[in-house]
A = this chain, B = another copy of it.
Amino acid sequence: MSVDTDLALGAQLDVTELAQQLRVDAVRAAAAAGSGHPTSSMSAAELMAVLIAHHLRYDFADPGNPNNDHLIFSKGHASPLQYAVLRAVGAIDDDELLSFRRFGSRLEGHPTPLLPWIDVATGSLGQGLPIGAGVALAGKRFDRLPYRVWVLCGDSEMAEGSMWEAFEQAAFQQLDNLCAIVDVNRLGQRGPTMHGWDLDSYVRRIEANGWHAVAVDGHDIDAVDRAYAAACATTGRPTAIVARTRKGQGVATVADQDGFHGQPLADPDAAIRQLGGVRNLRVPVTPPPGTDRPHVFAAPGGTPPTYAVGTDVATRKAYGDALSTLGDIDPRVIALDGEVANSTYAELFAERHPERFVEAYIAEQQLIADAVGLQVRGWKPFASTFAAFLTRAHDFVRMAAVSRATLSLCGSHAGVSIGEDGPSQMGLEDLAMMRATYGSTVLCPCDANQTAQLVGALADVPGISYLRTTRAATPVIYPPDELFSVGGSAVVRESDHDRITVVAAGITVHEALRAADELAGDGIAIRVVDAYSIKPIDGAGLHEAAAATGGRIITVEDHWPEGGLGDAVLAAFTGDPDPPTVVKLAVTEMPTSGTPAELLAAAGIDATAIATTVRRLVNP
């Protein structure tokens, strides 16, 4: 590979040449890596060349500039193109381009925010546009800055329902600062897409959702240029540019041919020659014109809610109260809802801070995407729905972790204790899902004062945090001044002759306390530990309790046996030379409808079941 073209910086930019440079660099990067997706990159070369040459407003020397546009590759496998763009704008040099996919390089196989110009990780298709809609929402409603959000989408990923959640909601939110660029190269990973080059099949559906849509030849620079101009001129609704392109465009051996997805070109040197050789064009991207600062909401301050010991308050209610107060204290807090705010009590925040409340309707993937998009711009999103329905957005949570996102989730209506609504509404795998999320914090409070305090703490916890709340009102057992922290636990019943430790969290703390009362009548003292912080779990506290109670622990959780509190407690003793005997009580059969008491009993996680298990273990 030789450098045979070197146009001087500042000369009139030839966008056709720039597009060829992007192709060549995509081919070179994949060739150097020995893997990657050059053909998926080559189809969109003109689309990106025109964008960076004429429409993008971005200061690459200052990626944190709040007025910068945002460019998201929803088709993250076109990372060679994204990195070629970064080289063309001077953000990375040629050596770094050729480090693509190497261990230690910032240029990963699919884009991640290891590169400061990349907002979010992509590569799980169908996520970039929903998240882009979230960033655009930040721009319109929260930052109130005129930046634009450009999202390069693939045609294969248009089959993902999450894309259509984004199309619907971006129109509903009138996000005219959002532009989807759909690269219709008609070929997916293993063959043709459903719609091939039927551009109208895309335009029709996108327009039906209320967008402005423009069909273009994606290799016609002037047409693409006009389409971007039309996007910028459109008000009140987002624009989609639906571009007919050829995968592998520019290299005859692969262009518009099936069977070349996700692999470097067989003869990169020949391909580069065919593309006109290596170039070193440098694009002087126009920086954002404004220097405005993001909008700051009023936050008069406030004190977290407190509750009188002995009253009955649902932890979901305390979540709503505390979040509402947190909005008073922290102007960057935003609450998001999946159309169940009257159940999760996020409604209390909505009533108090309507300007900072986002209704994502029953579209949990867009709910999380909005949260991810908002935190890209430094907002502090708290997204809530039923714990069970967060599973709908599992892949978005997974990718948020790859994006190193900081956001808080709250899942209400956890476990069989919700009662009559039945198993479809019961979150019984939420702890497992959230524990197995990279860098997550998982909390499960049992009491309103504890909940309120932990909600406040979450505003400053980096990464993805999760708070599980319950439907039923439960007794307030902690005074308002008792302190709780991420990683802590609380001993709620103890004596110097405890025979066993019961570790509980959430609703089961109250069952454990009732069991302790029942057992005390029989002269059996037990220690009850409230493991409200499930990840990180209080290993020291658990060790202390186990040592003090004969090395015997019972865990009890309103959750499947796998991946929840019991597994977390067991994991706290890994490496221990003399680990305790642990017995797990959890939900082992599919629950039905019934009263909370009936269902807790049927699942074997109520006070009676705990007391029975204690008796069996201490009097074997």
**Interface on A for B, CB 8 Å cutoff?**
33-36, 76, 101-105, 107-110, 112, 114, 121-126, 156-157, 159-165, 168-169, 172, 188-190, 193-194, 201, 204-205, 207-210, 337, 339-343, 347, 361-366, 388-389, 391-392, 394-395, 398-399, 401-402, 404, 420-425, 428-429, 432-433, 435-439, 535, 560-564, 566-568, 570-571, 574-584, 590, 592-595, 598-599, 602
Assuming the A-B contacts A429-B398, A563-B436, are A101 and B164 also in contact, with contact meaning beta carbons closer than 8 angstroms in the complex? no
Given contacts A101-B593, A567-B567, 18 further A-B contacts (CB under 8 A): A35-B420, A102-B593, A103-B593, A107-B593, A112-B423, A126-B392, A156-B361, A172-B194, A188-B361, A193-B361, A207-B208, A392-B394, A428-B436, A436-B560, A436-B563, A535-B562, A563-B567, A574-B582
Instruction: Please determine whether B109 and A420 come into contact, CB atoms closer than 8 angstroms.
Output: yes
A602 to B420, CA, bound (A): 48
> Ordered nearest first, which 5 A-B pairs have the shortest CB separation?
A161-B161, A123-B424, A103-B594, A563-B563, A432-B436
**Which B residue sits closest to A162, measured CB to CB?**
B161
Among B122, B590, B592, the residue within 8 A (CB) of A439 is B590
Known: A123-B425, A124-B424, A161-B160. A436 touches B438 (CB 8 A): no
**Does B424 lie within 8 Å of A592, measured CB to CB?**
no
Residues of chain B within 8 A (CB-CB) of A107 are 593
Which one of B125, B156, B172, B424 contacts A76 once the chains associate, using CB atoms below 8 Å? B424
Among B36, B161, B428, B595, which residue has its beta carbon within 8 angstroms of that of A365? Answer: B161
A-B contact pairs, 29 of them (CB 8 A): A101-B422, A101-B593, A103-B592, A103-B598, A105-B592, A109-B424, A112-B422, A121-B423, A121-B424, A123-B424, A124-B389, A156-B362, A160-B364, A391-B395, A391-B398, A392-B394, A432-B432, A433-B436, A436-B563, A436-B564, A438-B560, A438-B590, A439-B590, A562-B563, A566-B571, A570-B570, A570-B574, A575-B583, A578-B581
Find chain B residues with CB under 8 A from A582 CB.
574-575, 579
In-complex Cβ contact of A208 among B169, B204, B574 (8 A): B204
**How many copies of this protein are present in the complex?**
2
Nearest-neighbor residue (CB-CB) of A34 within chain B:
B420
Q: Which residue of B lies closest to A427 (CB)?
A: B398
Residue of B nearest to A595 (CB): B103
Residues of B within 8 A of A121 (CB): 423-424
Nearest opposing residue in chain B for A207, CB measure: B208
Q: Are A584 and B571 in contact (CB under 8 A)?
A: yes
Chain B minimum-CB-distance residue to A577: B581
Contacts of A205 in B (CB 8 A): 205, 208-209
Q: Kindly list chain B residues whose C-beta atoms are within 8 Å of the C-beta of A568.
A: 562
Best-surrounded residue of A33, A391, A568 (most CB of chain B within 10 A) = A391
- Nearest B residue (CB) for A360: B159
A159 proximity list for chain B (CB < 8 A): 165, 168-169, 339, 361-363
Cross-interface CB contact of A103 among B105, B581, B599, cutoff 8 Å: B599
Query: Which chain B residues border A575 with CB–CB below 8 Å?
Result: 581-583
- Which one of B392, B574, B594 contacts A566 once the chains associate, using CB atoms below 8 Å? B574
CA distance A101 to B418 in the complex (A): 12
Q: By the criterion CB–CB under 8 Å, are B429 and A363 in contact? A: no
Within 8 Å by CB of A123, from B210, B422, B602, lies B422
Indicate whether A432 sits within 8 Å of B391 (C-beta atoms), given known contacts A347-B190, A421-B109: no
Bound-state CA distance A123–B33 (Å) is 47
CB <8 Å contact, A339 and B156: yes
Bound Cα distance A169, B161 (Å) = 11
Tell me whether A110 and B168 are in contact (CB under 8 A): no
For residue A421, which residue of chain B has the nearest CB?
A: B109
CB nearest to A599 among chain B residues? B103
* A101 vs B591: C-alpha distance when bound (angstroms): 12
* A343 CB contacts on chain B under 8 angstroms: 189
The answer for the CA separation of A35 and B382 in the assembled complex, in Å, is 29
Q: Check A562 against B190 for contact (C-beta < 8 Å).
A: no
A592 to B115 alpha-carbon distance, docked (Å): 12
> Hey, which chain B residues are within 8 Å of A388, CB to CB?
124, 395, 398
Contact B104 A342 (CB under 8 A): no
Q: Cβ of B103 and Cβ of A394 under 8 Å apart?
A: no
Residues on B with C-beta less than 8 A from A578 are 581
In the complex the two chains form, is A110's CB within 8 Å of B425's CB? yes
Q: In the assembly, what is the distance between CA of A33 and CA of B207, in Å?
A: 45
Given contacts A204-B208, A361-B193, contact A420 B33 (CB under 8 A): yes
Q: Chain B nearest CB: distance from A140 CB in Å? A: 17
Cβ–Cβ contact B425 & A436, under 8 A: no
What is the distance, in angstroms, from A236's C-beta to the closest C-beta of chain B?
A: 16
A207: B residues at CB distance < 8 A: 208
When distances are taken between beta carbons in the complex, the residues of chain B under 8 Å from A76 are 424
- A366 to B461: give the CA distance in the assembly, Å: 35
Chain B positions within 8 Å of A392 at CB level? 124, 126, 160, 394-395
